[in-house]
Structure 1
Amino acid sequence: MPHPAPHRHLPTEEARDLLALARDIAQREIAPRAAAEEDAGRFPRETFALIGEAGLLGLPYAEEHGGGGQPYEVYLQVLEELAAARLTVGLGVSVHTLACHALASFGSKQQRADHLPDMLGGGLLGAYCLSEPTSGSDAASLRTKAVRDGEHWTIDGTKAWITHGGVADFYTVLARSGGEGAHGISAYLVPGDAPGLSAGAPEKKMGMKGSPTAQVHFDGVRVPDSRRVGEEGQGFAIALAALDSGRLGIAACAVGVAQAALDAALTYMGERRQFDRPIADFQGLRFMIADMATKIEAGRALYLSAARMRDAGEPFSPQAAMAKLFCTDAAMQVTTDAVQLLGGYGYTADFPVERYMREAKVLQIVEGTNQIQRMVVARHLAGPESRA
């Protein structure tokens, strides 16, 4: 059964070439090995190096620092292609982009010149350290401490649920440098090989087994003040700004996973026969794929609309929350329907839809649970909650 290509919004010929390059790498280098490598829990470090060499690891950042100089509208569609081939790769690129955001947006001119070229060129892979064992949705309650010691800071504490924990070359770390609450937090760029930095055993997860998620421990890690990003106490604002953009990355990844599930379902429908005809002839299943395709197209339109607002310099926080919420819920529904459509085969590892279903679940949780996204949207519409 032929699969109609997703409708794309690409503003330039260069953008079209970038997407074609991403699709070629995804189909030729990533997708054929995805199932086996996920089953083996293998982290594809060489794939990130390949993506970096192709100029796809720093797309939304300035060319003067080694980035691609592309709008978010283009970057997110590249991300969707990578996630459709293997979520471990797509989400990994999104996390790396998130880890670069603080320095690219709030770092000094000297800091950006010193660090961004290596961070964006593919030689280094990043991780983002905000969550802690007792600080998830309530991120402002984090306990990891940064104490000033002359021209250095000493960081102590534990971060949790860190994608690329233990394999990253640098960590963007949010730590408490002052009093309680959101205003006592600062941001630091910590090398992955810093003395005193270590990672726990990777979490045993239901999906994305090739992407290490681990606690990261800071035991007297010394960081020069030249690696503090932004002003003292500005860290929480830096974190929130990064998360708005990161949520769009998660939305694009979710659409990629959903598109992969729909494509697998369409292939199966064209090959599977029951009652002397292909199951693609049955109206009940045709209605299912129509609903699946509609959710995917709506999600893609929503994340692209929010991306264009970001590219235009307009506030986009509630739109990013809406996109993350809608796209990840849609991915969960589409992948569940794909499993149902394949029947017993959908429940086996012989077909990829069960993996897509397991992977879609985490997208409703990371970078702010979908309950948090609803709070963000409602606060924009109705104002902050009353404390009376």
Structure 2
Amino acid sequence: MAAARVLARGVRLGSYSIGRSRSLIFNTVQGRGIAACIDPSIGLTDEQKDFQKVAFDFAANEMAPHMAEWDLKEIFPVEAMRKAAQLGFGGIYVNPDVGGSGLSRLDTSIIFEALSTGCVSTTAYISIHNMCAWMIDTFGNNEQREKFCPDLCAMQKFASYCLTEPGSGSDAASLLTSATLQGDHYILNGSKAFISGGGDTDVYVVMCRTGGKGPKGISCLVVEKGTPGLSFGKKEKKVGWNSQPTRAVIFEDCAVPVINRLGAEGEGFSIAMKGLNGGRINIASCSLGAAHASVLLARDHMCVRKQFGETLSNSQFLQFKLAEMATKLVASRLLVRQAAVALQEGRPEAVSLCSMAKLFVTDECFSICNQALQIHGGYGYLKDYAVQQYVRDIRVHQILEGTNEVMRMIIARSLLTES
């Protein structure tokens, strides 16, 4: 039923005309010319294939034609994202009773992979927004769910996740932003760094310290834009992810109602980590889309570019490189989908698998995109060619949602404690 609802919303956007904007893969995602061995629809149900096609179509027609402009002019594409929300992509794994699509983690991964072929940066923000909406839906009470989730799912309002601080990145449990209880309000003081959407979004899911040191002293508050004492730093200049603004979020005697706390005091760190487990799958899925597009771009370039009297496709060295790229892509996709199913089913190995997926997939997909740029030679370094934007946009995936070094720590800890 949830998939049918997504598809029904998609029909209202009308039929799409498929173009060749910036040599992207839009002809192949319609089923023409895609190599069967890397087909992202392999193993999916008919329903999953249907909403995957909706996502690919949306990426091809509503995102990719604007991808370069959004990047160059640093445009936060609000209207495009609201069109995506009409397809059910504003609250993909949020419950339907508050406006969500009620899809699974695997379904979500499929959608984000498809969308990111059109614009990684925008899709990555949509994934963060979805994570915030899910956190409110999952850990909020009925009043909180009904207040925030419908507008978030429709993307009439946008959300940001606020965990990282200037002095606490990988060591998230050492955060210093404080929330002191005064009557029926918490008084927040401190700042958050590198916040996607910061300043342009409406709802901030904030981890703050209400108790002593360590993770058990952390709580989670929902702070609404316009709250006195809430302000923002300058817009950061970034290598990639330019279609979403990044700013510091600053709290100076910011009074937040107690009724905006998610869960009980001291549960904030647990809520944050549970959100990140899904976020790691989401961001790995965005890397998959970039890598999938880059493999096809590299293949197409090899078939037309001539050097030494013949096309690059006749070079066995480059044939082997392309084969390695395709193999890494498929292996990455399988790992992401296994982790997504484990998380959906609440299996004990889910945290480790999410960390493995984030580690392996973001590393390997960056390697794929970087190799695709190399195959393009000097052309790959020009902003007229999409491959360089995929490289820039997914480089940060190895850093955020927990650095890949932290992913290694989580995986190793799991292995050693089970020995």
Using structure 1 for the length normalisation, give the TM-score.
Answer: 0.95
**Aligned counterpart, 2:250:** 217
Q: Partners in 2 of 1:9 and 1:115 — Cα distance?
A: 36
Q: Which of the numbers 271, 275, 285 marks the counterpart of 1:238?
A: 271
Q: Partners in 1 of 2:49 and 2:365 — Cα distance?
A: 25
Query: Which letter maps to 1:143?
Result: L
Q: Partners in 1 of 2:388 and 2:135 — Cα distance?
A: 36
**Aligned counterpart, 1:350:** 384
Moved more, 184-193 or 105-114: 105-114
Shift of 1:4: 2.2
Q: Partners in 1 of 2:205 and 2:279 — Cα distance?
A: 14
CA deviations 1:23-43 (Å, max 9, x no partner) are 111001100110122012111
Shift of 1:7: 3.1
Structure 1 segment 188-203 matched on structure 2, within 5 A:
188-203=221-236
**Aligned counterpart, 2:133:** 100
Q: Partners in 1 of 2:34 and 2:331 — Cα distance?
A: 18
Secondary structure of residue in 1 paired with 2:101: coil
Q: Indicate conservation of the 8 Å contact 2:120/2:394, yes or no.
A: no
Q: Partners in 1 of 2:44 and 2:304 — Cα distance?
A: 37
> Where does the alignment leave 5 or more consecutive residues of structure 2 unmatched?
1-27
RMSD: 1.6
Moved more, 114-123 or 373-382: 114-123
Q: Which of the numbers 309, 313, 321 marks the counterpart of 2:355?
A: 321
Q: Partners in 2 of 1:227 and 1:36 — Cα distance?
A: 37
Q: Partners in 2 of 1:312 and 1:217 — Cα distance?
A: 37
1:370 and 2:404 are equivalent in the alignment: yes
Q: Indicate conservation of the 8 Å contact 1:10/1:16, yes or no.
A: no
Q: Which of the numbers 3, 7, 21 marks the counterpart of 2:54?
A: 21
After superposition, the Cα gap between the structure-2 partners of 1:356 and 1:136, relative to the gap in structure 1 and judged at 3 Å, is: same
**Aligned counterpart, 1:382:** 416
After superposition, the Cα gap between the structure-2 partners of 1:69 and 1:12, relative to the gap in structure 1 and judged at 3 Å, is: farther
Q: Partners in 2 of 1:44 and 1:247 — Cα distance?
A: 23
Using structure 2 for the length normalisation, give the TM-score.
Answer: 0.89
Q: Indicate conservation of the 8 Å contact 1:76/1:249, yes or no.
A: yes
Structure 1 segment 336-347 matched on structure 2, within 5 A:
336-347=370-381
Secondary structure of residue in 2 paired with 1:342: helix
Query: Which letter maps to 2:406?
Result: I
1:32 and 2:69 are equivalent in the alignment: no
Q: Partners in 2 of 1:137 and 1:217 — Cα distance?
A: 20
Shift of 1:16: 2.7
Secondary structure of residue in 1 paired with 2:117: helix
Q: Indicate conservation of the 8 Å contact 1:10/1:74, yes or no.
A: no
Q: Indicate conservation of the 8 Å contact 2:281/2:358, yes or no.
A: yes
Q: Partners in 2 of 1:97 and 1:224 — Cα distance?
A: 23
Query: Which letter maps to 1:124?
Result: K
Q: Partners in 1 of 2:394 and 2:49 — Cα distance?
A: 27
CA deviations 1:39-90 (Å, max 9, x no partner) are 1211111111111122111111111111111111111110011112111111
Query: Which letter maps to 1:367?
Result: E
Shift of 1:11: 5.3
1:153 and 2:186 are equivalent in the alignment: yes
Shift of 1:376: 0.4
Q: Indicate conservation of the 8 Å contact 1:185/1:233, yes or no.
A: yes
Q: Partners in 2 of 1:263 and 1:11 — Cα distance?
A: 21
Query: Which letter maps to 2:131?
Result: L
Q: Which of the numbers 204, 207, 213 marks the counterpart of 1:174?
A: 207
Secondary structure of residue in 2 paired with 1:128: strand
**Aligned counterpart, 1:126:** 159
Structure 1 segment 241-260 matched on structure 2, within 5 A:
241-260=274-293
Shift of 1:8: 2.1
1:331 and 2:365 are equivalent in the alignment: yes
**Aligned counterpart, 2:35:** 4
Q: Partners in 1 of 2:272 and 2:366 — Cα distance?
A: 27
Shift of 1:368: 0.6
Secondary structure of residue in 1 paired with 2:253: strand
Q: Partners in 1 of 2:194 and 2:148 — Cα distance?
A: 25
Shift of 1:9: 5.4
Q: Partners in 1 of 2:226 and 2:47 — Cα distance?
A: 37
Secondary structure of residue in 2 paired with 1:85: coil
After superposition, the Cα gap between the structure-2 partners of 1:112 and 1:12, relative to the gap in structure 1 and judged at 3 Å, is: farther
**Aligned counterpart, 2:24:** none
Shift of 1:157: 0.9
Q: Which of the numbers 95, 104, 117 marks the counterpart of 1:84?
A: 117
Q: Partners in 2 of 1:89 and 1:119 — Cα distance?
A: 16
Shift of 1:383: 2.5
Secondary structure of residue in 2 paired with 1:179: coil
Q: Partners in 1 of 2:40 and 2:48 — Cα distance?
A: 14
Query: Which letter maps to 2:95?
Result: A
Q: Partners in 2 of 1:173 and 1:30 — Cα distance?
A: 30
**Aligned counterpart, 1:284:** 317
Aligned positions, number: 384
Shift of 1:219: 1.4
Q: Partners in 2 of 1:39 and 1:10 — Cα distance?
A: 37
**Aligned counterpart, 1:271:** 304
Q: Partners in 2 of 1:99 and 1:114 — Cα distance?
A: 14
Query: Which letter maps to 1:213?
Result: T
Secondary structure of residue in 1 paired with 2:149: helix
Q: Partners in 1 of 2:200 and 2:105 — Cα distance?
A: 26
Moved more, 312-321 or 4-13: 4-13
